[in-house]
């Protein structure tokens, strides 16, 4: 049973525009969420996190939004750059212990 | 500073064999978690070890086992390999038992 879902397998965005990656979860006990970026032949790289006591967290060009009532989170990248092209995974956990990952969204930023 | 390291990078085994994968966490990190990632899927949690004790186990058969050593490095063992065990095995470390995890590059296991 997939507790974390990323329903868009791929996304293409023009350089300089906003990229919005979405993630839905089913377990209402999840209280800590992460986004990772993964390049081919490398392990996932931590991007940004958010705990359930917040609804927004910002780090430079990356902002994560959490909507607990909808069990939905999103990652916004503004402005998008070609180097952002990678597979993005969202992950959720209860108290930051065991993480459940989505299936990933492949982002392509077109120069 | 060295990140999480894993060895070997690639491995080819045949069905029924046994395999041992190794992981060295970031210096100062006391928690190590193991994940399996098959093609087209996200990482699936296998184990977490913190302070040399198992703190979490995912939905994997008993053929999978792990341990953590006094220096916080870790081994993942898989017995009686099946074709379906072919995957990228990722190790992640974190300073505490809870919190963001930092991943190594993974070990690509192919079972023939």
For A27-76, write each residue's pLDDT tens digit. 999 999 999 999 987 889 999 999 999 999 999 999 999 999 999 999 99
Using a CB-CB cut-off of 8 Å, the residues of chain B touching A99 are 33, 43, 45, 101
A45 touches chain B (CB under 8 A): yes
Three-state secondary structure string covering B39-77: CCCCCEEEEEEECCEEEEECCCCCCEEEEECCCCCEEEE
Using a CB-CB cut-off of 8 Å, the residues of chain A touching B90 are 43-44
Q: What tokens were used for A12?
A: 């293409």
Chain A: residue nearest B4 by CA? A43
Tell which residue, B12, B98, B77, B79, has the closest CA to residue A99: B98
Of A32, A43, A95, the CB nearest to B103: A43
Q: Identify from B25, B37, B100 which residue to disrupt to test chain A contact, counting A C-beta atoms within 10 A and taking the largest count.
A: B100
B60-109: per-residue pLDDT in tens? 999 999 999 999 999 999 999 999 999 999 999 998 877 788 999 999 99
Answer left, alpha or beta for residue A103, where phi above 0 means left and psi between -120 and 50 means alpha: alpha
A79-91: per-residue pLDDT in tens? 999 999 999 999 9
């Amino acid at each position: 049973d997939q507790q974390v879902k990323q329903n868009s397998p791929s996304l293409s965005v023009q350089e300089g525009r906003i990229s919005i990656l979405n993630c839905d979860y089913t377990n209402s006990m999840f209280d800590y969420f992460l986004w990772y970026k993964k390049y081919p032949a490398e392990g996932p790289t931590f991007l940004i996190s958010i705990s359930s006591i917040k609804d927004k967290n910002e780090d430079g060009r990356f902002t994560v939004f959490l909507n607990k009532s909808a069990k939905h989170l999103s990652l916004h990248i503004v402005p998008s750059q070609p180097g952002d092209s990678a597979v993005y995974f969202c992950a959720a956990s209860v108290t930051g212990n065991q993480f459940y990952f989505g299936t990933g969204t492949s982002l392509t930023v077109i120069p | 500073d060295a990140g999480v390291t894993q060895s070997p990078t690639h491995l080819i085994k045949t069905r029924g064999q046994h395999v041992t994968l190794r992981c060295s966490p970031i210096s100062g990190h006391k928690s190590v978690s193991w994940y399996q990632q098959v093609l087209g899927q996200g990482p699936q949690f296998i184990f977490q070890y913190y302070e040399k004790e198992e703190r979490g186990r995912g939905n994997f058969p008993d053929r999978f086992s792990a341990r953590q050593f006094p220096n916080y490095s870790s081994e993942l063992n898989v017995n009686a390999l099946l074709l379906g065990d072919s995957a990228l095995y990722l190790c992640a470390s974190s300073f505490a038992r809870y919190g963001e995890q930092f991943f190594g590059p993974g070990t690509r296991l192919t079972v023939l």
